Amino acid sequence: MLKEKEYLQLCELAYSGLIDNYGVKVQDVINSSIQNNFLGNIESGCSLMHLKMTNKKMFENTWVYIFENDNSYKYIIFVADEEIETIHNELLMEIIDYTKENIGNSKCFISGMFTGGIYASYIALELNIEAILFGTITNIKIEGNVKNYVGENEAVGKYSDKVIFVKQQETEDINMPFTSTFIFDEEGNVVVGEQSNYSKFKSWVYYTSDNINEEVWDIFFETVNENESFSEKNIYSVFLKINELDENKIIRSIKDVIIHIDKQLTINRGEMEKKLNKNIDDIEEKDINEKLSGITEEFTSKAVEIVESSCMSVKTILKGLVLLTVGQTEVNINARIDDFINIINEILETERVKIKECVENVIDQLMYHQIGFPEYHIE
């Protein structure tokens, strides 16, 4: 059985496309290759060198490689880098049949990288064995006995229960293979780490962030010329304006966003009051709760939407700053976001009280009209 480092090297070798001919051994590829990246990290005496590729096949965008060692043990490698939203059962059954056909009665081991790891996990579940995965996407739930090794600085989605974070060497080259960044012990096993703050920012931007609304965008970024236009203002648009953000600019912009939110909530509350008053004469006493609650709920939801949209936009900009500067920004983004969220929570709580008071005032007016108090004039 291979070490974890060797599984990763075999996955990256398959992903590189350097091994192409049936029957060729890994050692032959290493000896003939002029590449000096991850291939140069493969030790000459390791078990990996004696593996030979016996078969391979592409299923849509996923390559399945079959390797075999001198003891006829089979190593099935799945690699793909295009993200997928759902697993198609027909395709999965084709891959399962192909894998079983090539395994026969041999002892086998399963590994996969990136999106290929999703299919590797299904095959491992079908064969009731463990799968060793590397950097496999987590926007789809992975079942079965799986270890999904992900760099401590990499993004993960909501299905991260199978993820094991691996310590990484610092590098500014985002295209470096995992074999050059993952840290292994002397035995060739990964050194387990924990998710970094950079990974949390990256995960949020990739899987949670949304478009930035126009008002918040205009507060943070000045329009240099009238022809400047972005079809969508999002994390990629921030990249083009990133040099405009320093700590003073961020502090001022956050204050202005808070002022903007407060103004929008005031306008929303005013519209709610107008609608309540407009309908006041048509409301029977028995219908007060139903009629007022419907109107109140409508404008309360709008208030929450105003706050959430602005909050999401600010977080996208600030977390995008961390991501786009590879975590090298001197601004304490975590502190700025925490302060902003605390203020936003206070604004929402205050708005809840103001909406309640507004509704109570309307009810008082309604009761006054229905009871019909006489007018008194002081002479």
- Which of residues 377 and 276 earns the better pLDDT score? 276
State the residue for tokens 């739930």: 141
- The Cα-based distances of 67 to 71, 97, 109, 119, 147 in angstroms read 12, 17, 10, 17, 20
Note the pLDDT tens digit of each residue in 324-342. 887 777 788 888 999 999 9
Residue 377 has pLDDT above 70, yes or no: no
Residue 73 has pLDDT above 90, yes or no: yes
pLDDT, residue 368, reads 55
Q: What is the mean pLDDT of residues 199-206?
A: 85
Cα–Cα distance for residue pair 135/120, rounded to 1 Å: 12
Confidence band of 152 (pLDDT split at 50, 70, 90): very high
Confidence band of 225 (pLDDT split at 50, 70, 90): low
Note the pLDDT tens digit of each residue in 93-119. 999 999 999 998 899 999 999 999 999
State the residue for tokens 């000896």: 31
Short-list 231, 257, 259, 229, CA closest to 316: 257
pLDDT, residue 378, reads 33
Residue 292 has pLDDT above 80, yes or no: no
Note the pLDDT tens digit of each residue in 114-145. 999 999 999 999 999 999 999 998 988 998 99
pLDDT, residue 227, reads 56
Domain boundaries, the chain: 4-202, 218-371
Helix, strand, or coil here: 163? strand
Note the pLDDT tens digit of each residue in 294-322. 888 888 899 999 999 999 999 989 988 88
Contact 269, 358 (CB under 8 A): yes
CA diameter of the chain: 113
Mean pLDDT over each residue of the chain, to the nearest integer: 84
Q: What is the dihedral of CA 331, 332, 335, 336, to 10 degrees?
A: 10
pLDDT, residue 287, reads 61
Cα–Cα distance for residue pair 322/108, rounded to 1 Å: 43
Confidence band of 54 (pLDDT split at 50, 70, 90): very high
Query: First-to-last CA distance in the chain?
Result: 104
> Can you name the residues that pair with 190 across neighbouring β-strands?
184
Q: What is the mean pLDDT of residues 46-71?
A: 90
pLDDT, residue 185, reads 93
H or E, element range at 185? none
Residue 36 has pLDDT above 60, yes or no: no
How much is the pTM?
A: 0.73
Residue 150 has pLDDT above 80, yes or no: yes
Whole-number percent of the chain with pLDDT over 70: 86
Q: What is the mean pLDDT of residues 211-227?
A: 80
Contact 279, 369 (CB under 8 A): no
Rg (CA), the chain: 30
Cα–Cα distance for residue pair 116/127, rounded to 1 Å: 17
Short-list 16, 215, 255, CA closest to 114: 16
Helix, strand, coil content of the chain in percent (nearest 5): 55, 15, 35
The residue type of 52 is: K
Whole-number percent of the chain with pLDDT over 90: 44
Cα–Cα distance for residue pair 179/377, rounded to 1 Å: 90
Note the pLDDT tens digit of each residue in 22-33. 887 887 777 776
